[in-house]
Amino acid sequence: MSAQQIKAVRRKRRAYRVRNKVRGTAERPRMSVFRSSKHISVQLIDDDKGVTLAAASSLLPKAQRASMPYGGNVKAAREIGLKIAEVAKAKGITKVAFDRGYYRYHGRIKALADAAREGGLQF
C-alpha cells in the first residue's frame, strides 16, 4: 500500500470509531461536520430515515457571505456554527449529537461547536 492509501484507511477507521458511538434520530439529529482547506460545512442528519434536516456551509454566493470573505478560517467556522443553530431552532431542533468525523476537536471544529452551543444547540 502507498502512503496515501494508508492515510485514507486510518481516516476511515477514525471516522467509524466516532460514528459507531453517534447516532442521529428525529428528536436528536447527528450534527456532521465536513472541513476542507477552503471551506467548512455542517449538516443535521436523521439517521433513522436517512434524511438531512438542515445544513449550513461557507460555500455561499459572494453576495451572501460579505461578512465571511474566506471560508477556511476560525471566523468562518464560528459564523457557520451560529447559522446552523439558527436554522435548527427555526425547525424546532434543540438537541443534537455532535459528529466531528475524523477531525480533531480543536481549531475550526471547536469554534463551530462552541458557536452552535452559543446559538442554543445542546450537545
CATH class entry, domain 3-118? alpha beta
User: The cell 467509524 sits on which residue?
Assistant: 16
pTM of the model: 0.86
Q: Which residues pair with 55 in a beta bridge?
A: 43
Buried (b) or exposed (e) across 92-108, using 16+ Cβ within 10 A?
ebeebbbbbeebeeeeb
pLDDT, tens digit only, all 123 positions of the chain: 899 999 999 999 998 888 888 888 888 999 999 999 999 999 999 999 999 999 999 987 765 666 777 888 999 999 999 999 999 999 999 999 999 999 999 999 999 999 999 999 999
Q: Which of 56, 63, 52, 34 is nearest to 116 (CA)?
A: 56
Q: What is the pLDDT of residue 62?
A: 65
Q: What is the pLDDT of residue 63?
A: 55
Taking the domains of the chain in order of start, what are their residue ranges?
A: 3-118
- Judge contact between 47 and 25, C-beta under 8 A: yes
